[in-house]
Structure 1
Amino acid sequence: MILAPKKLNWRLDLSELSIESLRCVYDPNAFQFDNTSELTDLQGIIGQERAVQSLEFGLDIDSDGFNIYAAGAPGTGKTTAITSFVQNRAKTKDNPSDWCYVQNFDDPRYPRLLAVPSGIGNALKDDISKLVEESSVNIIRALENDEYNAKVEEIINIGNTKKQELLNEISNNAQNYDFILQSSPTGLRLIPSKNGVPLSEEEINNLTPEQNDQLGKNHVIIEKQLKEVLGEIRAIDRIKLEEIQNLDFEIANYSLNPVIDELKQKYSSLDQVHSYLDEVRKDIVRNISTFKSSTEDGPDGTPQNASRTRIRQYQLNMIVDNSDSDGAPVVMETNPTLKNLLGYVERESHMGTLSTDFTMIRAGSMHRANGGYLIIRVEDILSNNSNWDGIKRCLKEKVIAIDDSPETQGLITNTLTINPQPIPLDVKIILIGDPGIYQALYSKDPDFTELFKVKVEFDNSMERTGKNISDYASFVSTLCRKEKLLHMSKTGVAKIIEHSSRMVEDQTRLSTQFAEISDIIRESNHWAKLASFDYIQSEHVDKAVENKSYRSGLIKDKILDMIHHGTISIDTTNQVAGQINGLSVMNLGEISFGKPNKITVSIGTGREGFIDIERESLLGGRLHSKGVMILAGYLTDKMSMNIPLSLVARLAFEQSYNEVDGDSASSTELYAILSALSELPINQGLAVTGSVNQKGQIQPIGGINHKIEGFFEVCKAQGLNGTQGVLIPHSNTKHLMLKTEIIESVKKGEFHIYSVETIDQGIEILTGVKAGLKKPNGRFDDGSVNLMVYEKLLMLGSNLRKFINPG
């Protein structure tokens, strides 16, 4: 049944919202400045008292496992805020040690760790290099000295003289026993002789048995003497070599001792350095032959590789240098792979062979953050399980161990590896992520609750207090100064405050989505510069917001055009029973907008009750289905506690082809059911949103501003006639931050916004008929909506009984 719209009655005037309640406007004159250039930079974190207290606690406590998880919605600026906060806190801490790796001279596969106070590492590294260079030059110079060569030659000559005397003696003895000594490739040989002349083979064969037997006895005697002589000669060679070595050791110690003693004095408080210097001295002395070989150039005129490699073993590999730190380090790891976190070992290729040593150990972000703070986005660390397991292993074992195994490094299994000494870990890790990941880790990973005991929650909004508004202005000033934007006038800042409240749909709160706010400020700066303004004004902020919406508003405009041309059927001018306009919000990435939906109801006799066509067609979500079920509860409680509901009511969202979810349309559906039962038409110029409970109380919903503005756009396109408007839950009034255009239309009486607390209030506005109170006899006021509904339910029940029992 379609009727012409009727005049608004008394109920409308009582429920219509005032102009002032539609938007919380901020007065620019409340600011104590003309533009943000007069303000100082923002200090600290805005409007996150809970988060700040939690963060301070997490940073202050030193007990194991009290690492931090900062949870909050993306775009709230938590990463920037936490980094800045931690950096300020880190400045109050002492600089941590410099971390170095040095050669393990006993077993090079296990490089040793050397920790020195901050700033000492570079000096020590240079001093060690100078020590090796100076000692090398001094040793080589001493080895090339004439005096050294003369001593070596003297030692050699003395030894050779003694050896020659022994050889002469054994040679004479051999002749006495009819043998002579003869040199051969295998050593000295005894040859039978007579009068000093070797016997020929024929002469040996012609010897009598007696002569042959005597020759054999003589050979045994002289061979024994020869062995004794050769033993003495080897002893002479050993003594000669030892004397030369002792001479070399004396020269090496003479060259090293002054330099090493000087370094020991310089680093007198560092026992680890003393021990290492002693090991360097011991190894240089033990391997002085390396320096001898360095005096011989290779084919290209450079020192031999073996010499270069040996000398490199005395260098110091400083993997973490904290000399330039201003307090404890703060490291933000943006690519937390296992190598980037825990370090790795490089390799060099020579003649097709991969080799490595302690000088190729490279630090990870855990090393650089040791003694300070490491900040990681949890989404990045969880992209690979091995990364997450690596961090947990370090925290549990309290060391940073570089894994150089072939499997980890992606090498063939027979590649030589090293195992650097693990570094003691003292770091506070701060994970940044959304609350959903926190809940998943908390419930699924037992280690998480033991290692990250401090949760820092960032809210997506804050109270709209004077202090927070002042801090907001300082934030604008800081951003403009940091990014060299035009500063913003107080009218522009007032618009930013209003837009911030609109973002969270709350007149009493401000958004903490500072990433989005910053983008609005940047776009406002663009429009202000384009118009040659000195400061960003309120109109530039409005233009930035409007243009951002326009750029992403293609789908919105197409839907509006389809409604205007009748492709999507939305009636805003007639009165129809069992039909109503509901409101929904479409979210498309960075833009959200309201869209009206025609909801219809058909009523008949039956026992099926309420049939949700959306659910039956698998287009209804669980929350929507719950909302539909509540409708039956309302009718049972309100109308027929003593009689069963004997009806079938089919609910449908017309021209809906996607899933419908949420309960924000439950009151809308109930109004359509009441209209269909009472056969009272509903003004189609009024759209409705709000959920309802079984007692008929209207409950708040989200997206209120988008819903109102979406229906307003449809009414404006079809022609505003003064009877159109929207019914919203009364509890949503504080969430209104409507566009100026709608407020102006309301001022002119072209559009109306009503707030309702109960279904009875709403049905009176929609039908123009009183809802009616329930009497003691169970009936309602005469001529009321509820009485018409009650009587219709009685009739449907009677019809059902007659159908079942026709006699």
Structure 2
Amino acid sequence: MSTDRLKLPVEKLRWICDPDQFEFTTTDDLPELEGTLGQARALASIDFGLGIRESGFNLFLAGEPGTGRSSTVKNILKKRAKGEPTPSDWVYVNNFKTPDLPIALALPAGKGSELEQDMRELISAVRSVIPKALDSKEYETNKATIVESYQEHNNELFSTLETEAQDKGFALQRTVSGLVMVPQKEDRNFTQEEYEALPEEEKERISQIGQELTDKLNDVLRQVRENEKQTKDALAQLDRDLGNATVGHHLDPLREKYGDNPAVVEYLNAVQEDIIANLEDFKPQQPVQSPIPGLKLPRQEPSFERYQVNVFVDNHETEGAPVVFEPNPTYNNLFGRIEHVMQMGGMATTNFTLIKPGALHRANGGYLIVDAREVLMNPFSWDSLKRCIRNAEIKIEDPLEQYRFITTVSMKPESVPLQAKIIMIGSPWIYYLLFHLEPDYRKFFKVKADFDSRIARTSEVIKDYALFVATHCKNEKLLPFDRSGVAGLIEYSARLVEDQNKLSSQFMEIADLIREASYWAGKDGSQVVDHGHVTRAIEQKIYRSNRIEERMQELFDDGTIMVDTDGAAVGQINGLAVMTVGDHTFGRPSRVTSRVWLGRAGMVNIEREVKLSGPIHDKGVLILTGYLGGKFAHDKPLSFSASICFEQNYEGVEGDSASSTELYCLLSAFSGVPIKQGIAVTGSVNQHGMVQPIGGVNYKIEGFYAVCKSRGLTGDQGVMIPASNERHLMLSDEVVQAVREGKFHIWSVSTIDEGIEILTGVPAGALQEDGSYPEGTVNFLVDRRLREMIESMKKFGSSGEKDEKKESGAPAPALEGGQSS
């Protein structure tokens, strides 16, 4: 079988984006991109999630960072929200009955600030009108009339009582204990001696009269108290009438203005009642008397904050439904807070005007966008968000209150009904973590929008990519791209996903390359960005990050890391690995060796023995035993010992991409046929000898090419890859050019037999009808070596057993008829 047919032509080494397919000269000629590039599945999910209004159908946008999750949903909501109704304003007002429980009022959009201004004007007017009314002649006259009537009535009662007392020889006198009736003698009080000298009948008469007068005195005092109460009621009614006269005509227009909102009308009525009950607060305050002579203290003006309106959510400038993105979803930022003001003495005070809204309040009636990771990281945020969705209300609470040993007096603002669509953005890992470990998650976030990191390469997508470039250039005032520049950018996108039929949808990296290419074009003084500038941007980006790759290349160059790139060797092959260091990924070759010997240990993976290999790599090594058994043990048992090792490897090995490499090395060790050292190998293998695809194929090829180039390209070097990886090739221009010139080669194989023939130049050999392999083939040599090892083991076992029997003098064991005794 000729191996030339397995060499890949240059056309298959990378996909070339033809710039002639574009009809523009530069991206300045293109309109901006409308909508999202690709992501049809995610867009359909978003449309469904935003359209359904039932409870619990909130959205989770899952995808890798840079796939356009945030920008996509923001653009969709920006257009969608404009056509939706603007939600109500929300204000907090004082609860005059229970100040610790402020009242939340909903008003049409824009009416909240109007109510706040109306109340401000009302209090300003009332503060001016009431003092004038209280100082008016009419008010003073009416008040004096009520007081005089009270005094006259009281004087009449006491005058009548005093006259009656004088007629009966008593006088009404005021003592420390109050008013008392005292018996008189010759217009003076009895002395104690005079009273004791009286006959008992006289004493009895005086005592009886005194008791009668005392009862009448009590009746008079009772009437005085009733009169006093009536006077107070009359004064209160006078104040109420004055208040109604001065305040009522200011409040009546407001009642009419907000008449369609019963809650606001009820609040205005409560305001009027409180003003009337506290008219004294509106009087001019007297200066405070200072206890220190010469020190003037300011007058303590009464606070009228209780009549203010706290415009909590103001939507008067909102067009349609609000769209709120909260980048820092702490508890207070999401659910609001109650601020405090420090007073002298270290005391903190608060009132309803210090209630501040959270993002959920501002998004009420619209959409709230939050980052899932940030929500989960902030204490109390996730649990409180679930509670709000479950109860369909937003309640402002102190989350630390439950952890205090002593509860403090605080406000409990009335909760606000919640009607908002919550949109969380996170990685697929967070989505699955919540889905499996958080039972409530599935109740409240029933719609998943899955953003893929790659999209199919179609002509429509390529055109949209050009529009994407145009949009970024215009929005960020970058230099425009010509057709070759856009083509180079799209090729880089295919390189990112390592697929000739796919393009990357991680637009964050694409946008960065657009900016960098524009920068280098500007450095060159160019007015447009072409393919060369894109290439330079890619090269410079690699140069900024590949210090470790260059340091490792120096180790290959000076022989510290031993890798052969020419000649041939038995039981030795070049494997390929991929390393990722931060933001830079590169490939590097690694020498794999194998040794075989007589024994029954089977396959020994040295990496596994020293715990440097992972379970997937161990699985790949164990598959080799299955392959050997199926290939060579159909007519005999296998009995051998073999070791496989990644030479000069001092770190962990994981993955099965080297399993075919290890198998080739093992077959060389068994057959004694040397392997060409100028060929590196990658690919996993199954038990039937089929070579399976692997990842990082471009990095692996370019890593081995760099080593070969530094030592001199011979024209016989190259890399052997699985045939199923052909579509993943997006090799660099340098490697493609080397293949075009015949200095380097890429072979594509589907089976181990194809691969071993390329590596050794010897046919693999197919199994014949008699169960043998053609003489001179690799499989024939392997099969013969395995037979020889079995025979050697049998001879060794037989001779060793005889020697042991001779030395011990024991009889040989019976072959048949039971056990020997």
TM-score by length of 2: 0.93
Task: Write the distance in 2 (CA, Å) between the matches of 1:513 and 1:657.
Answer: 34
Determine if contact 2:329/2:378 at 8 Å carries over to the other structure: no
Alpha-carbon distance in structure 2 between the residues aligned to 1:184 and 1:320:
65
Tell me if 1:22 matches 2:22. Answer: no
| Contact 1:355/1:416 (<8 A) preserved | no
User: Is 1:578 aligned to residue 571 of structure 2?
Assistant: yes
Equivalence for 2:560? 567
Deviation at 1:212, TM superposition (A): 4.0
Establish whether residue 378 from structure 1 lines up as the match of residue 372 from structure 2: yes
* Deviation at residue 780 of structure 1 after TM alignment: 1.1
Cα distance in 2, alignment partners of residues 196 and 132 from structure 1: 62
Classify the secondary structure of the residue corresponding to 1:446: coil
The correspondence for 1:697, drawn from 690, 698, 704, is 690
TM alignment of 1:75-94, pairs within 5 A: 75-94=66-85
Alignment pair present for 1:536 and 2:529:
yes
Q: How does 1:324-363 map to 2 (within 5 A)?
A: 324-352=317-345, 353-363=347-357
* 1:34 pairs with 2:28: no
The code of the aligned residue for 1:158 comes to S
Amino acid paired to 1:685: G
Q: What's the counterpart of residue 664 of structure 2?
A: 671
Matches within 5 A, 1:153-552: 153-184=144-175, 186-200=177-191, 203-204=194-195, 207=198, 209-292=200-283, 296=286, 304=300, 307-308=302-303, 311-352=304-345, 353-384=347-378, 386-404=380-398, 407=401, 413-552=406-545
Q: 2:201, 2:537 → 1: CA distance?
A: 128
> Is residue 56 of structure 1 aligned with residue 47 of structure 2?
yes
Give the aligned partner of residue 814 of structure 2.
Answer: none
**1-structure distance, mates of 2:527, 2:570:** 58
Q: Distance in 2 between matches of 1:124 and 1:231?
A: 49
Cα deviations across residues 83-116 of structure 1 (Å, max 9, x unaligned)? Answer: 2222222112111111112222222222222111
Deviations 1:616-656 (A, max 9, x none): 10001000000001111111112212322211110100011
Q: Displacement of 1:552 after TM fit?
A: 1.1
Aligned counterparts of 1:688 and 1:747: Cα–Cα separation in 2: 20
What do the CA deviations read for 1:332-366 (whole angstroms, capped 9, x no partner)? 11111111111121222334433322222111111
Q: Which residue of 2 aligns with 1:756?
A: 749
Aligned equivalents of 1:180 and 1:763: distance in 2?
A: 140
Helix, strand or coil at the partner of 1:596: strand
- Cα deviation 1:681-734 (Å, max 9, x = unaligned): 111110000111111111111111111111111111111111110001111111
Alpha-carbon offset, residue 202 of structure 1: 5.3
Tell me what 1:44 maps to. Answer: 35
Give the superposition deviation at 1:589.
Answer: 1.1
CA contact (8 A) 1:70 1:432 kept: yes
**Change over 3 Å in CA distance of 1:405–1:550 after alignment to 2:** closer
Partner Cα separation in structure 1 for residue 177 and residue 3 of structure 2: 126
CA distance in 2, matches of 1:70, 1:406: 31
Alpha-carbon deviations, 1:33-76, whole Å to 9, x = none? 11111111111111100000011001101111111111111221
Tell me which moved more, 220-229 or 183-192.
183-192
User: Which amino acid is 1:747 matched to?
Assistant: R
Q: C-alpha distance in 2, partners of 1:634/1:366?
A: 61
Residue by residue, what CA displacement relative to the aligned partner does 1:718-761 show, whole Å, maximum 9, x if unpaired? 11111110001111111111111111111111111111111111
Match of 1:69 among 56, 60, 65: 60
Is the Cα–Cα contact under 8 Å of residues 604 and 641 in structure 2 kept in the other structure?
yes
**In 2, Cα distance between equivalents of 1:303 and 1:80:** 57
Could you say if the C-alpha distance between residues 279 and 629 of structure 1 is closer, same or farther in structure 2, counting changes exceeding 3 Å? same
1:403 alignment partner AA: E
Indicate the larger mover: 296-305 or 783-792: 296-305
The 2-side partners of 1:689 and 1:185 are apart by: 115
Counterpart residue identity of residue 373, structure 2: E
Change (3 A) 1:669 1:175: same
Structure 2: how far apart are the matches of 1:340 and 1:218?
81
Is contact 1:128-1:315 (8 Å) kept? yes
Match of 1:646, as an amino acid?
S
Cα-to-partner distance string for 1:200-221 (whole Å, 9 max, x where unaligned) = 4555555555544444333312
Residues 354-392 of structure 1: per-residue CA shift (max 9 Å, x gap): 332222211111111111111111110111452111011
SS at match of 1:167: helix
Partner residue, 1:4: none
| Correspondence for 1:594 | 587
CA displacement 1:101-137 (0-9 Å, x = unmatched): 2222222222222111111111122112222222332
Matches of 1:260 and 1:116, distance apart in 2:
18
Q: Please name the residue that 2:293 is paired with.
A: none
**What secondary structure does 1:805 align onto?**
helix
Shift of 1:226: 1.1
The aligned counterpart of 1:3 is none
CA distance in 2, matches of 1:533, 1:303: 73
Corresponding residue for residue 5 of structure 1: none
Which deviates more from structure 2 when the two are superposed, residues 197-206 or residues 24-33?
197-206
Q: In the alignment, residue 144 of structure 2 is paired with which amino acid?
A: E
**CA pair 285-478 structure 1, distance change in 2 beyond 3 A:** same
Residue-by-residue CA offset, 1:194-244 (whole Å, 9 max, x unaligned): 233234455555555554444433331221111111111112211211111
Task: Give CA-to-partner distance per residue, 1:524-583, whole Å, 9 cap, x none.
Answer: 122111111112222221111111111111111111101110111111112001000000
Question: Relative to structure 2, which stretch is displaced further, 726-735 or 71-80?
Answer: 71-80
Tell me the amino acid that sits aligned with residue 80 of structure 2. R
How far did 1:769 drift?
Answer: 0.7
Query: Residue 361 of structure 1 aligns to which amino acid in structure 2?
Result: I
**TM-score, normalised with respect to structure 1:** 0.95
Map 1:4-19 onto structure 2 (within 5 A).
Answer: 11-19=2-10
> Equivalent residue of 1:54, what SS?
helix
Moved more, 273-282 or 713-722: 273-282
Distance of 1:426 and 1:800 partners within structure 2: 81
Give the match for residue 6 of structure 1.
none
What does 1:748-787 correspond to in 2, within 5 Å?
Answer: 748-787=741-780
Residue 803 of structure 1: aligned partner: 796
User: CA 1:709/1:25 → structure 2, altered by over 3 Å: closer, same or farther?
Assistant: same
Change (3 A) 1:571 1:250: same
Q: Distance in 1 between matches of 2:194 and 2:400?
A: 71
CA distance in 2, matches of 1:184, 1:493: 109
Task: Please give the per-residue CA displacement for 1:267-296, whole angstroms capped at 9, x wherever unaligned.
Answer: 23223222222222233233334334x555
Deviations 1:653-679 (A, max 9, x none): 001111100000000000001111111
Tell me the residue number matched to 1:120: 111
- Counterpart amino acid of 1:357? N
Is 2:782 the partner of 1:789?
A: yes
Quickly say closer, same or farther: Cα 1:186–1:525, change in 2 above 3 A.
farther
SS class of match (2:377): coil
Q: Give CA deviations for 1:315-348 in whole Å, capped at 9, x if unaligned.
A: 2212111111111111111111111111121222
Gaps of 5+ in 2: 290-295, 803-821
Contact 2:87 2:315 in 1 (8 A): yes
Tell me how far apart the structure 2 counterparts of residues 418 and 142 of structure 1 sit (CA, whole Å).
36
Q: 1:273 to 1:526 in 2, by over 3 A?
A: same
